[in-house]
Chains A and B, each alone.
Chain A
Amino acid sequence: MSAVLNGVRKVGAYTYFAGACMRSAFTHGVPWDRVVSESYKVGVRSFPVLFTMALFVGSNLAIQGYAAFSTLGAGSLVGMFVALAGVREVCPLLAATMVAAKAGTEMAAQLAVMRTKEQIDAIEVMAIDPRSELVVPSIIAVMITLPALTVFTIFVSLVSAMAVAVLQLGVDQGEFLSFLVGYLSAYDLFAATLKSVVFGAIIATVSGYFGFYSERGARGVGEATNRAVVTMCIVIITLNFALTSLLYG
């Protein structure tokens, strides 16, 4: 019972934190130069990791899709499979997970270290809202960069899927492309981008929350980072189901 109450209390505290961030964005204004530098950090630092992962995920999609459809004697349908599975589900999730794992944990650890070193308290003492200075720029930055990274992930994984399908599995290139373009619509791209904006908001606020309210000390920093990653993963994947039902159900 107390565990349930504790969970509810944490959800409430998180909601209050997210609301306070939003309010301070409107009342205190947004430090736009920090938004730019944060976007650079999130976007460019995640770029090489995301590129590598998109390559492997795209080729894996092609191999498994081919395995599934060749039992029906329709191996060339792999183009459709890659387009639908990749663009609608896998790429937004992949980009979100990677940004959560890299930029999100970095943010949580950074805030937790500032909490440990009493820098957050120092900012507060100077009558500056630490949320508007430290958290709000990251929220906006992740919400801008994650959709861009998602589109990039989609492109790379589609190209690598096509390379595997054509070169390794022997699917005809024209067939692959015609199925890919035939089943993909602008709505799918729009939905993927929309999903990633929501995921971006979740990543930034959750990692901000855990970092901002972390325990002091080395153990506290590690724990805050740890909890942030797990919570982000669960929330993103659960939310993905809700968004998919909403957008395609």
Chain B
Amino acid sequence: MLLSSLATALLAPLDTLGRFGRFGARVLALLPSKAWSLRETTTHAGTLTGRCLIPVCATIFPFGAVIGVQGMAIFDLFSAHRLLSSLLSLVIIRELAPVLAAVLVAAQGGASFAAELGAMRIKEELDATAVMGVDPIGWHVVPRVLAMTLVVPLLTTLANAMGVLGGYVVAVGMYDQDHGVFVHHMAQLVGMYDLMASAGKGAVFGLLVGLISTFRGYHASGGAEGVGQAVNDTVVYSVMFILVVNYQMSSLLFGGAGG
């Protein structure tokens, strides 16, 4: 009895993972076909950008500012204030901007995708689409996933600039660091490769968030509670997978020993 309930508890996540994999494969298999429309994709990308722009900027800016405050305190110990901007841009571009942009897009855009699709599922709109001979995954899901994959790298690039700007405002505005010193050391440890890697991370996170949110919304069940549960699951799983995948991607892109 205990053994069988333990087996169920262990197998349920595996079952979900398997269904998620099949869902993702179906979405990707539809990419070369004509089941999805480009116009839907650009519409979703437009609304997504509009809704996520302010949240992303409003979180990464204070984050950069906090690094400015703490970094000034730490580098005071070595009287090496000039290092602040190099480390700030390193941390923002390599780690914080992609992760934070993806988390915010998951909270804002992913959650609303899950809510939309969940409500459609509850109201049997998805079934109606299928009855009309239109593949609901091709029509409703693929454009959303594509939009997410396109928008997160763009927002990541913007977040790079906003984060460094947050540090700049603190260092130059509050702690009277020289403008030239800040700007000169800013690009010392990072280059074009890091910017590309940052956007690449963003694209992978975007694909992940897009798939998780549409999967949760598409398979929502059980009325209004089901929609709330789908939104909740989307945010939790997105944040978790972003952080886990981030570790792997950091090791892959920037070397195992962090070089």
Q: How far is the CB of A149 from chain B (nearest CB, A)?
A: 15
In the complex, whether A4 has a CB less than 8 A from a CB of chain B is no
Interface residues on A, range: 35 or more
Residues 95-134 of A contacting B (Cβ, < 8 Å): 97-98, 101-102, 105-106, 108-110, 112-113, 116-117
Q: How far is the CA of A109 from the CA of B228 in the complex (A)?
A: 5
Docked-complex contact B66 and A244, CB < 8 angstroms? yes
Q: How far is the CB of A207 from chain B (nearest CB, A)?
A: 11
Give the interface SS of chain B, mostly helix, strand, loop or mixed.
Answer: helix
Docked-complex contact A248 and B224, CB < 8 angstroms? no
Residues 74-109 of B contacting A (Cβ, < 8 Å): 74, 83, 87, 90-91, 94-95, 103-104, 107-108
Closest residue to A81 on the B side, CB-wise? Answer: B74
In the complex, whether B209 has a CB less than 8 A from a CB of chain A is no
In the complex, whether B129 has a CB less than 8 A from a CB of chain A is no
With A63-B251, A225-B232 already in contact, the answer to whether A230 and B257 are too (CB < 8 A) is no
Most chain A CB within 10 A, of B87, B226, B259, is at B87
Docked-complex contact A241 and B115, CB < 8 angstroms? no
Tell me how many residue pairs across A and B have CB atoms closer than 8 Å. 168
Docked-complex contact B232 and A102, CB < 8 angstroms? yes
Docked-complex contact B66 and A89, CB < 8 angstroms? yes
Docked-complex contact B91 and A223, CB < 8 angstroms? no
Kindly list chain B residues whose C-beta atoms are within 8 Å of the C-beta of A163.
Answer: none
With A218-B118, A218-B123, A222-B231 already in contact, the answer to whether A64 and B95 are too (CB < 8 A) is yes
Out of A106, A218, A245, which one reaches B122, CB within 8 Å? A218
Kindly list chain B residues whose C-beta atoms are within 8 Å of the C-beta of A84.
Answer: 70, 74
Docked-complex contact B239 and A168, CB < 8 angstroms? no
Kindly list chain A residues whose C-beta atoms are within 8 Å of the C-beta of B247.
Answer: 56, 59-60
Q: How far is the CB of B22 from chain A (nearest CB, A)?
A: 24
With A230-B55, A244-B70 already in contact, the answer to whether A221 and B228 are too (CB < 8 A) is yes
Interface residues on B, range: 35 or more
Residues 46-67 of B contacting A (Cβ, < 8 Å): 55, 58-59, 62-63, 65-66
In the complex, whether A240 has a CB less than 8 A from a CB of chain B is yes
Docked-complex contact B231 and A101, CB < 8 angstroms? no
With A89-B66, A241-B65 already in contact, the answer to whether A234 and B114 are too (CB < 8 A) is no
Out of B104, B116, B123, B246, which one reaches A222, CB within 8 Å? B116
In the complex, whether B258 has a CB less than 8 A from a CB of chain A is yes
Docked-complex contact B236 and A101, CB < 8 angstroms? yes
Q: How far is the CA of A117 from the CA of B223 in the complex (A)?
A: 11
Docked-complex contact B115 and A102, CB < 8 angstroms? no
Out of A66, A106, A237, which one reaches B62, CB within 8 Å? A237
Residues 206-259 of B contacting A (Cβ, < 8 Å): 223-232, 235-236, 239-240, 243-244, 246-247, 250-251, 254, 256-259
Docked-complex contact A68 and B87, CB < 8 angstroms? yes
Q: How far is the CB of B95 from chain A (nearest CB, A)?
A: 6
Docked-complex contact B95 and A223, CB < 8 angstroms? no
Docked-complex contact A248 and B73, CB < 8 angstroms? yes
In the complex, whether B111 has a CB less than 8 A from a CB of chain A is yes
Docked-complex contact B62 and A229, CB < 8 angstroms? no
Out of A110, A217, A233, which one reaches B59, CB within 8 Å? A233
With A89-B70, A218-B123 already in contact, the answer to whether A229 and B111 are too (CB < 8 A) is yes
Q: How far is the CA of A229 from the CA of B224 in the complex (A)?
A: 18
With A105-B235, A169-B258 already in contact, the answer to whether A222 and B227 are too (CB < 8 A) is yes
Q: How far is the CB of B94 from chain A (nearest CB, A)?
A: 7
Q: How far is the CA of A57 from the CA of B243 in the complex (A)?
A: 7
Docked-complex contact A56 and B69, CB < 8 angstroms? no
Docked-complex contact B244 and A238, CB < 8 angstroms? no
Closest residue to B52 on the A side, CB-wise? Answer: A230
In the complex, whether B42 has a CB less than 8 A from a CB of chain A is no
Docked-complex contact A222 and B228, CB < 8 angstroms? yes
Residues of A with Cβ closer than 8 Å to B?
A: 49, 52-53, 56-57, 59-60, 63-64, 66-68, 70-72, 80-81, 84-85, 88-89, 97-98, 101-102, 105-106, 108-110, 112-113, 116-117, 168-169, 217-223, 225-226, 229-230, 233-234, 237-238, 240-241, 244-245, 248-249
A-B pairs, 8 with minimum CB distance? A222-B115, A109-B228, A67-B258, A241-B62, A226-B111, A63-B258, A229-B107, A225-B231
